[in-house]
Each structure stands twice: as C-alpha cells, then as structure tokens.
Amino acid sequence: MPILHPDRLFPADPETRSIARRLYASISDLPIVSPHGHTEAAWFAKNDPFPDPAQLLILPDHYVYRMLYSQGVSMHDLGIRQAGAIDSRKIWRIFAEHYHLFRGTPTRMWLDYEFEVLFGLDQRLSAETADHSFDVIAEKLQQPEFLPRALYERFRIEVLATTDSPLDSLEHHRAIRESNWKGRILPTFRPDSVVDPAFHGFRENIIRLGEQTGEDTMTWPGYLNALCKSRERFKALGATATDHGHPTANTANLDKQEAESLFTAILSANSTAEQQELFRAQMLTEMARMSIDDGLVMQLHPGSFRNHNQKIFEQFGRDTGADIPTRTDYVHGLKPLLDLFGNEPSFTLILFTLDESTYSRELAPLAGHYPCLRLGPPWWFHDSPEGMLRFREMATETAGFYNTVGFNDDTRAFLSIPARHDVARRADSAYLARLVAEHRIDEDEAFELAQDLTVNLVRRAYRL
Amino acid sequence: MPILHPDRLFPADPETRSIARRLYASISDLPIVSPHGHTEAAWFAKNDPFPDPAQLLILPDHYVYRMLYSQGVSMHDLGIRQAGAIDSRKIWRIFAEHYHLFRGTPTRMWLDYEFEVLFGLDQRLSAETADHSFDVIAEKLQQPEFLPRALYERFRIEVLATTDSPLDSLEHHRAIRESNWKGRILPTFRPDSVVDPAFHGFRENIIRLGEQTGEDTMTWPGYLNALCKSRERFKALGATATDHGHPTANTANLDKQEAESLFTAILSANSTAEQQELFRAQMLTEMARMSIDDGLVMQLHPGSFRNHNQKIFEQFGRDTGADIPTRTDYVHGLKPLLDLFGNEPSFTLILFTLDESTYSRELAPLAGHYPCLRLGPPWWFHDSPEGMLRFREMATETAGFYNTVGFNDDTRAFLSIPARHDVARRADSAYLARLVAEHRIDEDEAFELAQDLTVNLVRRAYRL
Amino acid sequence: MPILHPDRLFPADPETRSIARRLYASISDLPIVSPHGHTEAAWFAKNDPFPDPAQLLILPDHYVYRMLYSQGVSMHDLGIRQAGAIDSRKIWRIFAEHYHLFRGTPTRMWLDYEFEVLFGLDQRLSAETADHSFDVIAEKLQQPEFLPRALYERFRIEVLATTDSPLDSLEHHRAIRESNWKGRILPTFRPDSVVDPAFHGFRENIIRLGEQTGEDTMTWPGYLNALCKSRERFKALGATATDHGHPTANTANLDKQEAESLFTAILSANSTAEQQELFRAQMLTEMARMSIDDGLVMQLHPGSFRNHNQKIFEQFGRDTGADIPTRTDYVHGLKPLLDLFGNEPSFTLILFTLDESTYSRELAPLAGHYPCLRLGPPWWFHDSPEGMLRFREMATETAGFYNTVGFNDDTRAFLSIPARHDVARRADSAYLARLVAEHRIDEDEAFELAQDLTVNLVRRAYRL
C-alpha cells in the first residue's frame, strides 16, 4: 500500500481538484532551483555515502528532534551532539515509536515522501516497521545511486546554493568547480560571524577576516574593504546572493564619523546591547551599498530569538530547535535603508518573515511599491501547506505574484529537497486552482503562473 | 468571449455556489450607497466628459501605478504628476504590457469589470489589445452616456459622499444642490489639514480657518468654535459624517488648561513629535464631543505611515502609492475617548484598520460591547476578496453582523464604483452561502443579512 | 421543524462532509471532560433548581448582554446586577426581539442547542416565540431532571473543574465530597486575589490568607508558605490545576533579597505600576516552582484588559463584558520562567491567548520545543468555529496535535456545556476531515486523533 496519495494537498472539491491536478502535472517535472539552503558543499566535493538513517534523518534535523523533545524524549536518548558512538538503530526505534507526533506537520509529509519515493518503502513508519525501514534505508545509502552527486542529478537540481561564512575557505566549492562534475553548487555570503557583535568570537572573527583579506579590519574602512573583498571571493565561486539573519529588521544610516566611532565601541569589550543592535542595523545598510556595487542579491531573515532555551544552549549549543520567532517591524526598521537605496533599479532585497501578521500589513504593501523589494517564500515554521496558503492569501492581492521569488527549501536535509519542492508545487497548484475555480484568474494564466512560481521567478530574482 | 464569469468569487462547491448565486441575485440590483469616497464634486457640478483612458484610469490610481513602479516601470514613463503634455496612448501601452502583474489582485478584478460592463470590451487587456481598448474607451468617454451625471444614474447610486477639507469652499457641492439634478452628492468633513500639526502648512491653514469662520483661531476656544462652525457648514450641504486619518488610534482627555497650553505649543514653530501626537489625540476627543452635539458620524482611519518613500515624496508629492500600514493599538489608544463618550447613545464612531491582527483581538471585542462603536469594512489594501473574507471570519463571531456598516468603495476612481460594490456583494454572498451550507445560519436569515449588508446597515450607520 | 441541522459545522464538500460525519459519530457520545470552567460548586452541593430563563441564560452571561448592550439595549432594561425584583419575562422578550444580533456568533449556536436539545423547543427564538419559549424553559427548570446533579449526569460529564479563590472556604466542594453523589467536581486554585497587587483589597486578602493558613503573610517566606498550604488544601479536595489570569505573560526571576524587598514595597500603600507588574511576573515563577513540588498543572491566561469601560465598571462592577484582548508577548515574557523550569519533566504549563497572531509566531514554536509547555484551546472570544479552525491551522503544523490539551468550555453557563463541547467536537471533526480529504493524514489516524482531542489529551494534560 503506498504511503503517499497522488492527490495529496489538493482541495477536496472535485472540480478544483481536477484543475489542481492539471496544474501540478505541468510543473511536477520541472528542475529544482534551490537558491537558499544549508546543505554542505563537502558532500558534493567528496561524494561519500551518507551515514545511517538516524545520523542522516534525525540527528541533524532540529524539526524532528524538537518535536520529540517537546514530548519528553531526552536529547541524550536521541544522541544529539553526543561525543562517542551512538546506537543509531535504537534512536531510529525511538523516532518510529513517536512518529504519530508528527501527524499534521510538514515534517511528516517530507519524511513520508523520502520513505516512499527515495527508499521505496510502502508502509507507514511505526514501532512495527522501524527495523525494516532502518535496514532498507541503511542498505540503500550504500548504493552508488544514493551518493550525493547521483542524488543531485536524480533530483533534477538545476542549482543548489549553500550558506557560508566569510571565514570559510570555500575549498569544497572550489573543488567542485575544479572537478569535471556538472552540478551547480553555489556559495552564499552569510556574514553573521563578522557583522553581529553578539556572535560568538566576533572580535577574533574580524581579526581573522583581516588576515584572510590583507586588510586592517581594526579600522572602519579596512573592515568594509575586507567585506568587499570577501564578497568578491564568493562571487568568483558563483555566489549570486548574500543572506542576513538579524534579530530585527532594523537598519540605520549613520554618517561616516558616527559609524566609525560605533565600530570602535563595538570592538571594545564592553559595548551595550543598543550599540550592538545599531551596529547590525548599520551593517545591513552597508551590505545593501555593497550589493549595489557588486550585484549580489540581498536576503534578510529577521525575527528569530536564537537559542531561547538557555539550558539546552549551554549543554548542546546553537541550532538545536530552540529558536523562537518574535514580532517584527519592517515599516520603521527598513526605512533608513530604503531611504537610501529603495529606488535603486539594480538592487534586490528579498524579505523573509517569521511574523505572519506582517504579510498583509507590511510586507505586501512594501513589496508592492518599492522596486528593490521582493518577498521570500514562507520561512521556517511557515514552510508548510497552511503557511504557504496563508502567504498567498495575505500577500498576493497587494503584492501580486510577480513581487515574490518562488520557493526556497532552506534545508540542511538534502534528501528532503524533492519532498519540499513537491509540497510547494502542490500548494501553489492548489491555490491557483482555487483562483481558477472561483474565476479570479483564467486557466491559461494559472498555467503560466505555475511555471513562473516554480522556475522563472526564482531564476530572475536570484540572478541565476 | 466575455472577460468576466458570472460565478466569479463564488465558492467552488456546487451546493454552496448555488446558494451564493441566489443570494447575489437578490442584491445585485440594489442601489449603491457610497458613504465614504474620494470622487470630486466638481465632476457632477460641471458634468464635463472624463479625459482619455490613461488620464482616467492610470494616472490618478496609485493602486495601479504602485504595482507598475514596484516592477521597475518608472513614474516618469507613466506620466505621473508630470508638467506638460503626456502621451496617453504610450502610457496605456505600457500598462497593457504589464497587465499580467495584476493577476490575483482586486485592481485586476475592478478593471476587468469596467472594461467589459462599462466599455463593452470582450478581450483581456494585453499588449495586443492595448490600442483597440484605448480607442474604444476614448471614444465612449466622449458620449453623453459617459458623462458623470449619466454614469451616476446608470450606476444606480443612491448617495455618494466625497471627502473634503474644512478649507474647501464646497462650491461644487453648492452648485449641485442649486442645480435641478437629483443626484445626492454629500461632503464629508475631513479636518487633517487643520488638526494635524504635521500637515503641510498647518499654521497657515488655521489662520485661513479663522478667516473663513470669523473666529480667532489663534486661541483654543476660537479654534474650537471655528471647527464647530465649519462642521455646520458641511452639515448644511448634506454632510452626515466626519473622517479622521491619523497615524495612530491614540486619543487623549486633557483638561482645558492643558489643552490650551498644548495648542499654544503646537502653534509655535518648534513643537515636538510627542506634542503633535498628543494634539492629534486630543483633537479626536474634541471631534467626538462635537459629534455628540451636531450628530455627525465619526470615522477613524488610523495606522498608515504616509509617504514612506522619501525620494518619491520629494519628487512627486503625497498620495503616490507609498503609504504603508503599521501596527495599531486600539485598546489603549481609544480608552480616553471611550471613557468620556463610549456609552453615549447618540454617538457613532466607525473604526477602520490596516492591521488585520486587530480584527479578532481588538476591534470585534470593542465593537461587540461599546454602543457607540461600529466596524468599518476592510480598508485600502484589505478591500479585496481575501481581505473581506478574513474580516467576516475574524469579526463576525464576536461583533456579529450588526456592528458592521456595509461597504465603502473609498475610491477616487469613479468608474470603478460599481465594480467595487459588485466584488463586495459577491464576497458577502460567498461568505453567507458558506454559513448556510454549513448550517450556521438559516437560508432566510442569509437573505435578510444580504440586504442588511448591502443597504440597510450603511444607511443606518451613516444616518443617510 | 428542528432548529439544529445534523450536519452543522461540517464542510460543504460532500466527500469531506461524509468523513466529518463519521469522525463526529465516533466521538459525539464520549464523556465530557471539563478541566477549566466557572460553574459553582454550590449548585451541585445544594442541588436546587435553577432560576427562570432570564436569570439562568441572560443575566449571568456577559457574551449575551455585551452584544445587546453594543446595539443600544440598556443594562438596566436587562436587569444586570440590579437590586430588587426584576421582570424576567420582560427581559426575555427584549432578548428574543434582538436574537438576530447573534447570527453568525457562537452564542447563537450554543443557545439554539440548549433550546432544542435540552428544552425540546422546535422554533427559532424571536419576538413571536418569546413567551412560549419562556414558559417551556421555566416549567422544565422546575422538573427533577433539570436539577444540577441530574443535568451533570445527563450531560455525561466525567469531571468538572470550577475556579476558586484561595480565600474560598471550598465548603461546597467539601459538601459534594461528603455526600454520596458520584459527580466529580474539582476546585482549581486561582490566586489573583492574593498575587495581583492591583486586585481590589489585595492587602486585606493577604492578611486573610495569613489567618486561614496560620502563616505570617506580612513576610515573604510566610506569604509563600501560606500559598503552599492553600494549594495543598485545594489538592486535598481534588484540585489538579492552578489558573493565572495576568494582564501580560511576563515572568521574572528575582533573587530572594530582591523578591523580599519587592514584596515589602507591594504591601505598602504606594507601589508603582511597574512594581506591581514585576511582582505578578515573579509570582508566576513562584507558582511554577510550587507546581513542580506539588504536581498541580499550571494554566496561564494572559492578555485581557479588564474592565475597559470605566463607567460600566463603576456602575456594574467586574466581569460585565467589557474585558478587551491586548497584544501579548510570550517569547520574552516567559523566558525567565522557562530558563528556570522549561526543561523540568514533571512540570506542565498550559498557555492560552487572546492574541491569535501568537499562534503560529510564538505559541506553536514554544510548545513544539519546551517539554513543559502545552497549548490550551482557543480562548474566550476565539472559542468559536472560525476561532477553532484558525487555531488548528496555525498551531498544528509546528506544535502537532499532541502539544495541545483538548477542549475547555470555560463557562459559567452550565447548561451550555454540552453545546460547547458539541461545537468543539464538530469543529475538530471538520478539521480532521479536511486533512483526510486532502490526504494529509490517513483516515485511521483521524479516528485516533478524534479520540485524543476529545478525551485523551485533556485527561493526560490535566492529570485527571
């Protein structure tokens, strides 16, 4: 019995469903364009087999273990960030026993897709099927068709962007370029470690950045030069975009002297939280300025309260499923940057949010006016069928479709990429089908839009 | 081939759709009651033909050109606020080439209605059909049936309110009254220019107000008297309402002495932003007090960050599509005013919002309790099929239908008025049909509600 | 003609509706578990007949009279909080004449259920049917089957929690326990009167608490001891939970000395609003600490601006329908408490909200990570079909179903309890049916979930 139904995520009304089916059929085989994600270039450079099911699908996926943890499963039993050997089969069994927790979540939908489409399993995961599925997946992962490059090709990926620190050597990106492989793996410039004073080791990072670039990063002009050079290095390896993950959407427009003395204050040991926030705000503006110069598309991901769970952070570190969204103000926050560059024809700033109340109130009205702005797809917790539907319903009427940029899978779970794009394509087909069924757009327009939402808008927005 | 489908905006489910059809049929021919909008009395006083298609449908409509601008079309190429001659046909072609940008937006729906129902066009606007549609529309606009008064009658308008400054002579309103024409065009008292210290020329405006009314508007009592007299002048020409467009929903209740010295501070050249905000807050309370005296219904439209795009503002001025919604707090903001007048039986305050998160959290709970409060229809960016649906879904269960006031077209695009009311009637029919199909109200109630939402509530709330 | 349709609240699509019907049939007869509400233990202790229809269904129900008041019916004409005799039939007639105001509201749905299912009426309430319905209800209320205990049994209630002040003697709870009656009526510890410095008579309440418990509540340790003892007294009578109704979700983690001096300041006559807020914040943390010790489940209901209408408050007192929701921040507010106890396996904190924008942004992400957190059902104004749907749509994808706790009726309207649970069961069936119809969960899972949402999750979360 198949796990997946061919009509999943399509509206129940038969007429609407039939339109959705046809729309989906027209896009389901299109290539995957993945301009924003967190896979590792090393996988494709080395092309080693992925590890066992638990190490591949559970340990790196905080969507999975945050849910298990929320229901009383200990991080220790799951082997999260554990030194020494772990018992992968045991972890897999715990996961399988708790699989019902994921009912109604996108994680469940992505995993079911992987189980059936990638691994050929035909039974829902449960305590009973745990061992069988573990064995099947473990065995397949050793086959040549499951090596990273083979999967990249099987997934019909056209381009796959990683996310990288300016301090990264990008050696794996270079190795891929230098190999004969045709896969297009691009780095993305993500400078948190050298622009966010609250980042662990910030001062040391800036010193390293200076060493890397031959600039005196202890001075404001040298620091800016170093960032420019670093961006050039990314561009040379194919990067088309930068990415900025700030706690707020605040930007600033300090004059040179103010910026310089703020930079000095920030480098000292005792800068205040206000100074740090102002510095991050100023750095968004600096990054926009550089984008206008070098043509890198700018992405802004604000509004996550990182590492909210203090004990888990102390014990297990960053990125363990304890980042929580907060209210975000784009209208006042972005004004200084937009006052400077909002009308620049060559500038693209893609906005994301974790605060859905901003879709119709702030983001769609901003993107429906400023030529530089585009709306990124529903992000993180909102990258889900209901989340995507809310995004379309709340953004489209004011921003239109053409101020959006298609889908981002935004994942480090490489094997989930086709599943995620499949959900997005189904969700878009369902939404468009409803517009057609309610005679809000014509059917020929829906087919054109389906192509645009799947491949055209993303290629254009990210300059791919 | 018709552009419009007779079932547009009705739910796809056949049973629900058939209910929606019947409900809509019962209200589609009812007169249009338009208690809030931005048409010009001069049109109806002079009854001159409207200009060509571009000057009629593009240049004054910031919904249209904000979208084009967001996608890289220059304001200059569109002829926006340009001195000297413009090439209307060229502008129309640009618009037609970009018509796909409006897919899924209410602008598209309104324009399609105008094209088909008013102008008899039968092909979707596109680069190919641009010239033909331009010619047809341009030609029709010269015909007597397309003169403002003829259209008013053809549209079955029962009453049409404009929005006017206290400094306006209202001469055109007077001229309409003095003519033999039966159309009911009413002014609305919109005092921003004389109550908002941030308004351009505020001090001069107050001096002019004094001259107009024979009051010493440099004193607090004289200023208030002048406003009273000005309101009386509007009433004498048929006004039944005032309208207030503030950045926030803040109100204040200063004692006479505090108010007096605030007024003095405000008239000086160097009042602070806080003083200006407090003055606006106090003026809402003063306006409420006057409403209780003179019976004018009060409308509050808060939460727009006006002229967000600094460069566009400097180059093109106000109202060029760059107003952006902001978060609004009604619960704390309105408290001072409601403490004074919230329980006055003769007072009506109609609240609008650009912050949809307030529908279920603040507005419906407030309107479902305070006798003076009513909820205005979805406003501006939210005057759209999805926006209307969200409003009903989020407000009805707490405020009921009877604390709402029907539809406002709120437009300066006179030709779009029937289209806008048609969308609203379809959206209401669709919502009511769903309630009937899910047995949440009975069908006889839905028919009664459809009438109420279309004509009865608006007549009652606006005292028309 | 019946008032209620058997398919009410089910989606119109025939296939989805048929799934909803089957799901509902599987849970409609399950017992009612009511872990949070505002009925009175005295009713079940004394088992006296309920008063006449107006005194039973209108006067105590601020949902009902807030709507009537909002439409101009005076509180006086409704007999609200009036000294002396009231004319119940006259009040009932006023209510009946205005019954159309409730169209589309949950109040209407609950009352219709009571009219038909409990009282056997078969005509919609209106001016015409007012007297008949009054007579029928009045007569039935005198019958033995309508006594509180008989209704409890007829409603198939498994457990019913009340909400009680620490200052309450709980004598009626004790009387019920000491009687032979098998009904399970449990108290809930709701300490507002002794932990909120803004509560009327706060200082006197603390003195009384000291007398009750034999502790010196003028000292910080004595005060905490008194609260512990008071909780123990509740536990001894079956309480499994506490409930906290704060204006915000703020918590604090003061050290002992800070807490002690804050307590001293609070007991003085002139504490500031900031001190009072900080004290409430600290007390949530203290309550959490006590919960870990004594195992009582903690409920937090923040975000209501109590008694917003000053004149109505002065004339009629608290709880008269004038409480208005406000924006609430859980992410920063709860951090101090979660830093201390967020990972405690034995601790359960159930969060409610009046700010729906927090469902997807804050609450679901928090509950999908912290082991102690669970999401309470849609609360107050949001306890409605659309409100429940929004909750499921916005919370499920991130928190899953298993971090929620089933339904609360949260009512003092005892006769509405079956109606409210019926609406919740129908709403859950409708939601699950859509997931099945769209192949997002399998049908066997939906049946299991329906049971879980109806009885299993609530029993587990509230330790019943």
Question: Residues 6 or more apart from B297 whose CB is under 8 A from it?
Answer: B240, B241, B242, B291, B348, B349, B350, B461, B462, B463
Interface test with C, best of A324, A354, A420 (most C CBs within 10 A): A324
Order of all β-strands in the sheet with B241-244: B241-244, B297-300, B349-351, B373-375
Whether B11 contacts chain A with CB within 8 A: yes
Nearest CA-CA partner of C227 in C193, C198, C184, C268:
C193
Q: Which helix (H) or strand (E) holds A375?
A: strand A373-375
Burial B6-44 (b: 16+ CB within 10 A, else e): ebbbbbbbeebbebbbbbbebbeebebbbbbbbbbbbbb
Q: List residues bridging with B241 in a β-sheet.
A: B297
The four Cα atoms B399, B403, B408, B410 give a dihedral, to 10 degrees, of -70
Q: Which CATH number fits domain B14-49+147-461: 3.20.20.140, 3.90.1150.10, 3.30.360.10, 3.90.1200.10?
A: 3.20.20.140
Nearest CA-CA partner of A431 in A29, A7, A5, A23:
A23
Q: Can you tell me the distance from the alpha carbon of A47 to that of A144, in angstroms, rounded to the nearest whole number?
A: 10
Whether A57 contacts chain C with CB within 8 A: no
Place of tokens 């009327």: C200
Q: Can you tell me the distance from the alpha carbon of B185 to that of B174, in angstroms, rounded to the nearest whole number?
A: 10
pLDDT of residue A247 exceeding 90: yes
Count the Cβ atoms, other than its own, within 10 Å of residue C256: 9
User: What are C328-359's pLDDT values in tens digits?
Assistant: 999 999 999 999 999 999 999 999 999 999 99
Rounded to two decimals, what is the model's pTM? 0.98
Whether C1 contacts chain B with CB within 8 A: no
Any idea what the Cα angle at residue A351 is, between residues A348 and A353, rounded to 5°? 175
| pLDDT at residue B82, as a whole number | 87
Count the Cβ atoms, other than its own, within 10 Å of residue B131: 13
Nearest CA-CA partner of B342 in B374, B373, B297, B298:
B373
Confidence of residue C82 (pLDDT cuts 50, 70, 90): confident
pLDDT of residue A174 exceeding 90: yes
3-state secondary structure A193-221: HHHCCCCCCHHHHHHHHHHHHCCCCCCHH
pLDDT of residue A1 exceeding 80: no
Helices assigned H by DSSP within A214-309:
220-236, 256-267, 273-294
Across the 464 residues of chain B, what is the mean pLDDT of every consecutive 10-residue run? Answer: 94 98 98 98 98 94 95 95 91 98 98 98 97 98 98 98 98 97 98 96 97 98 98 98 98 98 94 97 98 98 97 93 97 98 97 98 98 98 98 98 98 97 98 98 98 98 98
| pLDDT at residue C269, as a whole number | 80
In this complex, which of A367, A393, A437 lies closest to B12 when CB atoms are compared? A437
Q: Can you tell me the distance from the alpha carbon of C121 to that of A449, in angstroms, rounded to the nearest whole number?
A: 54
Cβ–Cβ below 8 Å for C104 and B329: no
| pLDDT at residue A82, as a whole number | 87
| pLDDT at residue C84, as a whole number | 83
Q: Can you tell me the distance from the alpha carbon of B419 to that of C307, in angstroms, rounded to the nearest whole number?
A: 43
Q: Can you tell me the distance from the alpha carbon of A43 to that of A160, in angstroms, rounded to the nearest whole number?
A: 12
Amino acid residing at C369: H
Whether A457 contacts chain B with CB within 8 A: no
pLDDT of residue C1 exceeding 80: no
Percent residues over pLDDT 70 in chain C: 100
Whether the Cβ atoms of residue A351 and residue A363 lie closer than 8 Å to each other: yes
Q: Which helix (H) or strand (E) holds A369?
A: none
| pLDDT at residue B83, as a whole number | 83
Contacts of range B292-295, beta carbons closer than 8 Å, 24 or more positions apart = B292/B341, B292/B344, B292/B346, B292/B347, B293/B228, B294/B228, B294/B231, B294/B232, B294/B235, B295/B235, B295/B240, B295/B346, B295/B463
| Architecture (CATH level 2) of domain C51-146 | Orthogonal Bundle (1.10)
CA distance A239 to chain B (A): 24
The CATH code that applies to domain A49-146 is 1.10.2020.10
pLDDT of residue A450 exceeding 80: yes
Interface test with C, best of B355, B359, B438 (most C CBs within 10 A): B438
Whether C17 contacts chain B with CB within 8 A: no
User: What are A262-309's pLDDT values in tens digits?
Assistant: 999 999 988 999 999 999 999 999 999 999 999 999 999 999 999 999
Q: Can you tell me the distance from the alpha carbon of B279 to that of B248, in angstroms, rounded to the nearest whole number?
A: 12
The CATH code that applies to domain C14-50+147-461 is 3.20.20.140
Whether A315 contacts chain C with CB within 8 A: no
Distances, alpha carbon A167 to alpha carbons A170, A300, A450, B454, in Å = 9, 20, 39, 63
Q: Which residues of A touch B384 (CB under 8 A)?
A: 397-398
**Joined tokens for residue A318:** 């960053």
CA distance B322 to chain A (A): 6
**Joined tokens for residue C133:** 């319905």
Distances, alpha carbon A315 to alpha carbons A76, B101, B196, C314, C336, in Å = 11, 50, 55, 53, 18
Burial A374-407 (b: 16+ CB within 10 A, else e): bbbbbbbbbbbbbbbbbbbbbbbbbbbbbbbbbb
- Domains of chain B, residue spans: 14-49+147-461, 50-146
Cβ–Cβ below 8 Å for A70 and C373: yes
Strand pairing of B304-305 and B349-351?
unpaired
| pLDDT at residue A83, as a whole number | 83
Cβ–Cβ below 8 Å for C400 and A101: yes
Q: Which residues of B touch C5 (CB under 8 A)?
A: 439
| pLDDT at residue B93, as a whole number | 98
Average pLDDT over all residues of chain A: 97
DSSP-derived secondary structure for C307-346: T--HHHHHHH-S-SS--EE----HHHHTHHHHHHHTT-TT
| pLDDT at residue A269, as a whole number | 80
The greatest distance separating any two alpha carbons of chain C, rounded to the nearest whole angstrom, comes to 69
The mean pLDDT of C169-192, rounded to a whole number, is: 97
Chain B residue with CA closest to C379: the answer is B361
What CATH topology corresponds to B50-146? uronate isomerase, domain 2, chain A (1.10.2020)
| Architecture (CATH level 2) of domain A14-47+148-461 | Alpha-Beta Barrel (3.20)
User: What are A6-62's pLDDT values in tens digits?
Assistant: 999 999 999 999 999 999 999 999 999 999 999 999 999 999 999 999 999 999 999
Same CATH fold assignment for domains A14-47+148-461 and A49-146: no
Tell me which DSSP letter residue B4 carries: S
Q: Which residues of B touch C104 (CB under 8 A)?
A: 396-397, 400-401, 435, 440-441
Q: Can you tell me the distance from the alpha carbon of A443 to that of A439, in angstroms, rounded to the nearest whole number?
A: 9
- Chain C: partners with 3+ C-beta pairs within 8 Å: A, B
Q: Can you tell me the distance from the alpha carbon of B133 to that of B53, in angstroms, rounded to the nearest whole number?
A: 9
CA distance C266 to chain A (A): 30
| pLDDT at residue C312, as a whole number | 96
Cβ–Cβ below 8 Å for A324 and C369: yes
User: What are A67-76's pLDDT values in tens digits?
Assistant: 999 999 999 9
Length of chain A equals 464
**Joined tokens for residue C145:** 């089957």
Cβ–Cβ below 8 Å for A100 and C445: yes
Count the Cβ atoms, other than its own, within 10 Å of residue C84: 5
Q: Can you tell me the distance from the alpha carbon of A341 to that of A336, in angstroms, rounded to the nearest whole number?
A: 9
| pLDDT at residue C4, as a whole number | 97
**Which residues 346-405 of A are in CB contact (within 8 Å) with C?**
354-357, 381-382, 384-387, 390
> Could you tell me what percentage of chain A is helix, strand and coil, using 3-state DSSP and rounding each to the nearest 5?
55, 5, 40
- Chain A: partners with 3+ C-beta pairs within 8 Å: B, C
ipTM over 0.95: yes
Q: List residues bridging with C375 in a β-sheet.
A: C351, C404
CA distance C424 to chain B (A): 14
